Structure formats: C-alpha cells, structure tokens
C-alpha cells in the first residue's frame, strides 16, 4: 500500500508498539512517510526503539504482492450492487452513482458510475477479481525498477531490503541481485520472501543463498510466505504459514539465516506456533535484549504482519477523517491510545510483553 497518510500513521503507532522493522514499497515518498511516522513516535517517547525501514522489491511480475486491481467504472452497469467495494479490505475501491441526461436518482438505469480503484491504497489482494458479476476487473502486475531501488538503498533512512521471489526459477533472482550488488551492502539485512514449493523448497533456498553469499555482509532472513495477503480473513488463514514453518523445521539442510513467518499471520499465529512447538521466548544470561542472538538458537525468529496489522489499526484511522477531517493521529490522543492498544495486542505476544 502506498497511501502516504495511512503509511505514516501506521508507522507511528507500530513504532510506539515496539516493532523491529517496518516494510514498505520501494518508493521514496513512501519511505519518507514511514520515517516521518517513526520521527513523530520518537518525539512522543524519546526512548522508543527506532525500527529498521525495509523496502520491498520483486524479481518476477508473477508475484502476487506486486499487482494492482484496475477497471473503468464507466464500463460498469449503473445498477451494479458494487460487491467489489464491499469486499475490499483496504477501502481501495470507491464508486459513486451519477445521473446523466437529466434523469433522476430513482432511475439508475440511466446513470453511470464514477470513481474506481484508488491505486495508492490497493495492495493487490485480488479479492475483488472473483466477485465482479460482470468480470470487468483485471489485475495489472509490475516489477520494481532495480535502478530506483539501488538508489533507495544508498539512503541513510533505509536499513533493509526484502526480495520477493515466486520460487519458479533462479535466473530472475540472479539478475535482480546482480543489479543491486553495488548497493546491497548499504543495508543491514537482506530478507527473501518465498512460498512453500514442496520438497524442492530447501534446494531452491540453498541455490538463492549461493547467489547471495559472496556479497552478503549483513544479516539474512528467510520469510516463509504461507498464504499471501490473507491474515485479515480469519483464524484459518494462518495455518499455511505455520505448516510451512513445520516443513522447514523438519529439513536438516536448510540454509543459514533467520526465519520469519508471513502470509496469513494474525492474532492466532502465536498460539498455532506454540502448539507446533516452534515458538520460543528466551533470555540469555548476561546479555541485553538488543544484543545479537544466533539464528541457530530458534527456528522462527520473527513474525511479519501485513493485512491484519493494517486492519486492526484501520478501524481507528477510518474514524479520523469522518470526525475531524484530519489524518494526523497524534493530534487526537484518544484515537492514538485506541490504536496503540490494538497494536500492542498484536506485538505484545511476540515480544512477551507483560499483560496490560
């Protein structure tokens, strides 16, 4: 999602909640919005830990994270019930009926729809595609420009990069990695997000690591993408990413690096991990929590929350424009506190915070 106002407010709230990293589009304006939110959080609580800022790119246009819905509202029948608008989790579809030719609002067959996709809000979940009764909506895929990404990595306010790969081949990843090689060492962390492709997953990951390893100076992380962009749907959405973790735990030849869950993560993920015996909280004698802990000490080193994290804070953010015509959440302490409590309900179990 590239809505700068929402990105800013989400970054502010989750910084106060104590997240370690904020992932965003590889776009300078979006990176700026993330850092503005972090800066405001630091002005509220100067001692707050500043999260790393991560930019996301893809090596293949087939990756579901890098697409936008698109349609022409004038192609839609004026009496359409607009199910796409209702099903969109990002409020990225806005349609309004207007009358033409002097007809009244009570005569919808002589009207038309205006509006459509709010591109900056759409994050490509695809839920609108199957519900359109007239099959008017299409998905438009894209690949982030590696030259632009390379320049972003040289900025002081970008700390990490996430590379999404589809698992369909090593060549596209190799090409992207080579195009980023001159700037990749400006970041502290390189994450690779990939799906479970079955028994060949570990071989594919080791092939990726062989490409990265000669130029890798910082940390590396594997993001296990179970069911992309589905965490806000419900409890069952988290099963695939936990199953992916269980699969990886059984593989002795997996490559080095930290492992993190994504794709379908929500408030049920921690409980599912505990049941699978993969969630560990540990305190090392004589070490501070900020010190480096070897990734070999626990298989799952973190959880990435996307759609669900936006959803629980979005309920509060949607109140702001309607009530105040303002999107600066810090100007309204009651709403900021409400959003922070929601964020802590998600971050707290991961961080083992004391119960509120």
Extract the tokens encoding 348.
Answer: 């707290």
CA distance 71 to 94: 12
Compute φ and ψ for 107, nearest 5 degrees: -120, 70
Question: What is d(CA 60, CA 66) in angstroms, rounded to the nearest whole number?
Answer: 9
> 319 with 301: CB under 8 angstroms?
no
pLDDT at residue 124, as a whole number: 92
Q: How far apart are CA 8 and CA 37, in angstroms?
A: 5
Q: Where are the domains of the chain?
A: 4-66+142-282+292-312, 68-140
Q: What is the pLDDT of residue 291?
A: 40
- Give the burial class of 292: count Cβ atoms within 10 A of its Cβ; 0-12 exposed, 13-18 middle, 19 or more buried: exposed
**What is the CATH T-level fold of the domain 68-140, as seen in this structure?**
Alpha-Beta Plaits (3.30.70)
Given a contact cutoff of 8 angstroms between Cβ atoms, the answer to whether 17 and 36 are in contact is no
pLDDT of 224 reads: 97
**Residue pLDDT tens, the chain, 356 long:** 889 999 999 999 999 999 999 999 999 999 999 999 999 999 999 999 999 999 999 999 989 999 999 999 999 999 899 999 999 999 999 998 886 655 545 455 556 888 999 999 999 999 999 999 999 999 999 999 999 999 999 988 999 999 999 999 999 999 999 999 889 999 999 999 999 999 999 999 999 999 999 989 999 999 999 999 899 998 899 999 999 999 999 998 999 999 999 999 999 999 999 899 888 765 444 444 434 344 344 578 899 999 999 999 999 998 886 656 568 999 999 999 999 999 999 999 999 888 76
Beta bridge partners of 117: 93
C-alpha–C-alpha distance, residues 163 and 221, integer Å:
10
Class of domain 4-66+142-282+292-312: alpha beta
Same fold, 4-66+142-282+292-312 and 68-140: no
Pairing of strands 111-117, 93-99: antiparallel
């Amino acid at each position: 999602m590239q809505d700068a106002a929402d990105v800013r407010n989400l970054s502010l709230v989750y910084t106060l909640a104590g997240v370690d990293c904020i992932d965003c589009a590889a776009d300078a304006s979006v990176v700026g919005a993330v850092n503005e939110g972090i800066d405001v959080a630091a002005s509220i609580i100067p001692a707050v830990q500043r999260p790393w800022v991560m930019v996301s790119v893809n090596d293949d246009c087939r990756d579901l994270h890098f697409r936008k819905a698109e349609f022409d509202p004038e192609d839609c029948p004026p009496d359409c019930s607009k199910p796409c608008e209702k099903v969109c989790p990002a409020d990225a579809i806005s349609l309004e009926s207007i009358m033409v030719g002097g007809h009244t609002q009570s005569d919808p067959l002589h009207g038309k729809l205006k509006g459509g996709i709010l591109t900056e809000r759409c994050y490509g979940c695809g839920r609108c595609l199957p519900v359109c009764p007239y099959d008017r909506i299409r998905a438009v895929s894209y690949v982030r420009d590696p030259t632009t990404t390379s320049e972003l990595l040289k900025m002081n306010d970008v700390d990490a990069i996430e590379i999404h790969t589809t698992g369909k081949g090593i060549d596209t990843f190799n090409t992207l990695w080579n195009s980023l090689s001159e700037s990749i060492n400006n970041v502290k962390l390189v994450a690779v997000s990939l799906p479970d492709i079955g028994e060949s997953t570990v071989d594919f990951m080791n092939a990726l690591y062989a490409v990265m390893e000669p130029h890798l100076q910082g940390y590396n992380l594997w993001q296990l993408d179970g069911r992309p962009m589905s965490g806000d749907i419900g409890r069952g959405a988290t099963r695939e990413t936990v199953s992916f973790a269980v699969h990886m735990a059984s593989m002795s030849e997996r490559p080095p690096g930290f492992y993190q869950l994504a794709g379908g993560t929500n408030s049920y993920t921690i409980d599912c991990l505990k049941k699978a015996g993969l969630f560990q909280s540990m305190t090392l004698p004589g070490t501070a929590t900020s010190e480096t802990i070897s990734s070999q000490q626990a298989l799952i080193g973190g959880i990435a929350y996307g759609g669900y994290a936006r959803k629980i804070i979005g309920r509060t953010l949607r109140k702001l424009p309607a009530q105040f015509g303002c999107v600066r959440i810090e100007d309204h302490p009651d709403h900021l506190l409400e959003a922070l409590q929601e964020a802590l309900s998600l971050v707290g179990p991961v961080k083992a915070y004391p119960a509120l």
